[in-house]
Amino acid sequence: MFVYINELRERHEPLLIVKDFSEEELDIDNTISALQNPAHSEVKVSLWGERVCVEGQLGADLVLTCSRCLKTFARKIQKGFELEYRPDPVVETEGEDFGLAYTDLEVGFYRDDRLDVRAVISEQIVLEIPMKPVCHKACKGLCEQCGADLNEGPCTCQPRSVDPRLEPLLEVKRRMGE
C-alpha cells in the first residue's frame, strides 16, 4: 500500500489510513513470528516540505516461539510511533567513502515519490520481536542431554561433569570461596 507524495502535496492536509494488515500482506519472517489476527493500524501521513511525517498506532497479537523451551506463546503489542522520511539522496560514490550525519540515522528515505505504508507497519512489528523470545522469565528450557522440557519436571539425566578445559577456572572459584 503506497502513499504517493504528489497526491499528498495536492491534498494540503494529512492523510489518515486505518487498515488491518493480514500476515500475508506484511513482510514478517514466519520462522520468528506469526500473527494471530490481522494487525490493526491507524496511520497519519503529513507532508512538511519534502519531509514526510508518519505518526501512528499499531496493535497486533503475535505468536512467538520460546528460545528456551521451543513452545509457542502469544504476545500482544500496542505501540505508537513517529517517523520521518525524506527523499532518497542519490549519491555517486565511485570508490569514495560516503558518510552520514548522526541525524540521518534516525530518518528513513523514500524513493520514486512514494512511501510504502505496508513496509512501515512490517518494520514496526519486527522491531517489537525480541531477539530471544522467552515465554516467561522462569522458563527452564530443555535438558541439553535428552531434550525434556524442564518446566514440566526434572529429567532423569545425570548432571554433566565439568568440561576438562574449564577445570582450572573451577579451581580458582573454589579458592575464592574459601
- Least confident residue range of 39-43, 67-71, 80-84, 107-111: 107-111
SS3 string, 68-128, reads: CCCCEEEEEEEEEEEEEEEECCCCCCCCCCCCCCHHHHHCEEEECCEEEHHHHHHHHHHHC
Q: Is 15 helix (H, G, I), strand (E, B) or coil?
A: strand
For position 132, what pLDDT does the model report? 93
Grid cell listed for 141 = 528450557
- Is a pLDDT exceeding 90 seen at residue 87? no
Grid cell listed for 161 = 561433569
Mean pLDDT of 100-120: 82
Question: Cβ contacts of residue 79 below 8 Å, gap of 6+?
Answer: 57, 58, 124, 128
Q: What residue spans define the domains of the chain?
A: 2-139, 140-178
Q: Which amino acid is at 75?
A: R
For position 31, what pLDDT does the model report? 58
Q: Is 1 helix (H, G, I), strand (E, B) or coil?
A: coil
Q: Is 150 helix (H, G, I), strand (E, B) or coil?
A: coil
Mean pLDDT of 25-37: 78
pLDDT-derived band at 95 (thresholds 50, 70, 90) equals low
Distance of CA 102 to the CA centre of its chain: 22
Cα(128)–Cα(120) distance, integer angstroms: 13
pLDDT-derived band at 178 (thresholds 50, 70, 90) equals low
Cα(46)–Cα(55) distance, integer angstroms: 8
Give bridge partners of residue 159 from the DSSP assignment.
Answer: none
Mean pLDDT of 46-69: 93
Cα(82)–Cα(56) distance, integer angstroms: 7
Please state, rounded to an integer, the average pLDDT across all residues of the chain.
87
- Is a pLDDT exceeding 60 seen at residue 58? yes
Instruction: Count the Cβ atoms, other than its own, within 10 Å of residue 178.
Output: 4
For position 97, what pLDDT does the model report? 63
Grid cell listed for 108 = 528513513
Cα(9)–Cα(50) distance, integer angstroms: 9
Task: Please write the tens of the pLDDT for every residue from 146-171.
Answer: 999 999 999 998 877 778 888 899 88
